[in-house]
Chains A and B, each alone.
Chain A
């Protein structure tokens, strides 16, 4: 299995621009999670989906952030407009729906907003 795939691996953009991060979960996994990691705040859960349905988006910092999961094999996290304080590493993780609680993480997207 290829594991969780994220793209791009690095993104540098200017303040005000739209940014779209992409994630392909492990095949057969029913849950998908978006996290943000910074030195100051550590690892934060932004939003997660079960069977493509958003369950909890309470961690999404502002309305500038949105996430979608149009099918079981693809999800996006969009920031519009981006701000310098959004600079972080964004991780996607997936999990089976069969009672196992462990999550499997992708390599992350390092976002820099200038």
Chain B
């Protein structure tokens, strides 16, 4: 069965420094992977998606993620954090047993300090 593990529940960075949010997945098949962001009191917004094309995926707001099959990882990065990046981030995998469903990680809360 598919699953995702977000390795950090909280990450704190200073504005202007790099962001790394870690995600490992478990899948018997070539997965579809996503990162979603949720700002306080808002819905979830799709940041980027991987669907077996290029392994380096670029998303909105300067974020990108690299699919590494050998490491079963899909870490989210950004070169320089902005105060507006403070939010909850979810790593998500499509359930190949039922592609209608998404499997969500537990989330990583990103804090950005001035």
A residues neighboring B (CB under 8 Å): 4, 31, 42-43, 45, 48, 50, 55-56, 91, 93, 100-108, 110
A105→B44 contact, CB < 8 A: yes
Consensus secondary structure, chain A interface: strand
B residues neighboring A (CB under 8 Å): 32, 34, 36, 41-46, 49, 51, 90, 94, 98-102, 104, 106-107
Contacts of A110 in B (CB 8 A): 41
A48-B43 contact in complex given A42-B107, A102-B49, C-beta closer than 8 Å: no
What residue of chain A has the Cβ atom nearest to residue B101's Cβ? Answer: A45
Q: Which residues of A contact B98 (CB under 8 A)?
A: 56
Give the CA-CA distance A94 to B107 in the complex, in Å: 21
Q: Please, how many angstroms separate the alpha-carbon atoms of A31 and B90 in the complex? A: 21
Q: Bound complex: CA of A104 vs CA of B43, how far in Å?
A: 9
The distance in angstroms between the C-alpha atoms of A91 and B43, with both chains bound, is: 7
